[in-house]
Amino acid sequence: MNLYFKIKRAIACFLIQEKIKTKLDEPLISFSFDDAPNSAFVAGRSILNKYGYKATYYISLGIREQDNPQKGYFETAHLKEVIAEGGELACHTYSHIHFYTSSIKSLQNDLEENQRKLNEILPEYRFSNFSYPYGEQTISGKVLVRSKFRSARSVKAGINSNPVDLNNLRALQLEKSLTLEKAFEYIDQTIAQKGWLIFYSHDIQDDCSSWGCTPSFFEQVVKYCSDRKLNVRTIDQGLDLLKVRK
């Protein structure tokens, strides 16, 4: 990302905030996936189900439609299964659009298109939460997102604790270069400060991309949470615990 866009994002994050003062009774963990590749819905979901956990899947229905089928984005059945199991589908724009170079009108159309396409599959379901593609944030984009969603997740590493910026939730990527020690350290810090740690990843497979991790790595992180009997919730359930308006 060039310096101009970095400054643009920093200013947007400084000017547009939705901070709430809140105190959790106990630490909170969420698992989420961006885009999300087929392996997130299959390997990632099956590991979480083994431990009784559900995740939030931030999806861009357009990238699936435009994708080479061999690459393997999610199937329609997966979306229905996630909802039937008590998981969450969240919005990641329709076309995985760039905030920095798009007009507000095209952003608006893109968000509406993602909702419309989802309703062709799940007629009643409405996205409540959002994650910024590429982590890109602009002033007008953040205002738009704030008007449409309960929360918006960034790609900035950190633990959400008092105050929590609902328009810029921090998260930790479970990515190829992350060490288990680092992931565990974040969990330990979350426990110490009774914060909210949101993990996100992409593909969960042995030959993972730089933005994903292996099933073995993913399971060790999930197990670390389970061994400590941590409260693991979807993003929307986490917001309920924080008493955020619907």
Summarize as ranges the residues that interact with Zn ion (CB under 5 A): 34-35, 133
**CA dist 185 → 5, 109, 192, 201 (Å):** 30, 40, 10, 18
* Terminal Cα distance for the chain, rounded: 34
Q: What is the smallest separation between the CB atom of 132 and Zn ion, expressed in angstroms?
A: 9
| 172 beta partners | 199
Decide: 93 and 113 in contact? Cβ < 8 Å. Answer: no
Is the peptide bond preceding residue 90 cis, with omega within 30 degrees of 0? no
Q: What is the smallest separation between the CB atom of 87 and Zn ion, expressed in angstroms?
A: 18
The residue written with tokens 């959400």 in the block is 160
Residue nearest to Zn ion (CB): 34
Pick between residue 35 and residue 219 the one whose CB is nearest to Zn ion.
35
Three-class secondary structure of residue 100 per DSSP: coil
Q: What is the smallest separation between the CB atom of 155 and Zn ion, expressed in angstroms?
A: 9
Q: What is the smallest separation between the CB atom of 85 and Zn ion, expressed in angstroms?
A: 23
Q: What is the smallest separation between the CB atom of 133 and Zn ion, expressed in angstroms?
A: 5
Pick between residue 92 and residue 150 the one whose CB is nearest to Zn ion.
92
Q: What is the smallest separation between the CB atom of 123 and Zn ion, expressed in angstroms?
A: 25
Q: In degrees rounded to 5, what are phi and psi of residue 89? A: -105, 135
Three-class secondary structure of residue 14 per DSSP: helix
Pick between residue 35 and residue 203 the one whose CB is nearest to Zn ion.
35
Pick between residue 133 and residue 212 the one whose CB is nearest to Zn ion.
133
Pick between residue 35 and residue 236 the one whose CB is nearest to Zn ion.
35
What DSSP element (H or E) covers 58? strand 56-59
Pick between residue 62 and residue 133 the one whose CB is nearest to Zn ion.
133
d(CA 8, CA 2): 10
What DSSP element (H or E) covers 143? helix 139-148
